[in-house]
Every structure is written in C-alpha cells, then in structure tokens.
Amino acid sequence: MAGGTPLEQRYGRTPGPPRSRTWWRSVLGGFVLVGLVWAGGIGLHEARTPIRWQDGTFTALDAGHGRLRFVVSTDAGRQAVCTVRVFNRGLTEVGRIDVPVGPSTQSSFTVTATVPTFELGSSGIVRACAMR
C-alpha cells in the first residue's frame, strides 16, 4: 500500500457508495431541478401580470355589514379576486369576503365591497388580490 492518503495507508480504502444510491441521488436531483424550473416559470408569469391595491375608506353600515372602498391597479381587461377583511375595535376579524374585480377598460379603478359581519366593524383592509 504505497499510494493514497495516510489514512488509506493505515486503514485501507473505503468503498464508495453503491451505484444504486448514486443513481437515486441523480434522479432526485433531476426532480428538484425540474421543480425549481417550474416554480420559476410560475413566478415569472405572475410578475408579468402585476396587481396592486390601495386601501381606501371603511364605513360601518350596521352590526351585520361593513363597506370598504379601495382602488385596484392592473392591466386593462384583466380580472382578479380580492380578499377583504373587516375588524372590530379589538382588531378581531369579524368579517371576510372574496370580491371579484374587473375587467375594466382602465388600469386603475375603484371597487366597493360590502362585507357581511357578525358584529360591528371599525376598520377594513384588503388582505390580498390575485389574478384570475
């Protein structure tokens, strides 16, 4: 045993991983790579169709309803869904609704959402908007 590292000279060479393990690692790496490419493609698609919103004014109509007016900005002719949340004075959510918005001929337009609540609301926000 003239060649090799001092550890190999002292203890001998250790066998490498079995070929089947190497093959499975390659397959798993391929699946991970395909998944990353797929996720990147979805991210690029969503980046091309941006949607933005700006919270507006909230009005408590009664103990069972609140109204939020907000502005949505997206490409003209696109449809989206926005989730609107209403909170009481203790910041507990007392109502939520998904509101379809668009299509519109303008890139920015005002949306009015009437949200059913189970008690009097004091504020409202748009949680998120997503393209349809």
Residue-wise pLDDT tens digits, 44-80:
665 566 888 998 899 999 989 999 999 998 888 888 9
Do 127 and 86 meet the contact criterion of CB atoms below 8 Å apart? no
Burial class of residue 84 in the structure, from the number of CB atoms within 10 Å of its CB (0-12 exposed, 13-18 middle, 19+ buried):
buried
pLDDT surpasses 60 at 92: yes
In the chain, where are the structural domains located? 6-48, 52-131
Q: How confident is the model at residue 2 (pLDDT cuts 50, 70, 90)?
A: low
Question: What percent of the chain has a predicted confidence (pLDDT) above 90?
Answer: 41
CATH, domain 52-131, list 1.10.8, 2.60.40, 2.120.10, 2.60.470: 2.60.40
57 DSSP 8-state letter: E
Give the residue with greater pLDDT, 111 vs 16.
Answer: 111
Q: Tell me the residue type at 22.
A: T
Q: pLDDT value at position 24?
A: 80
Do 59 and 78 meet the contact criterion of CB atoms below 8 Å apart? no
Rounded Cα distance between 42 and 81, Å, is 18
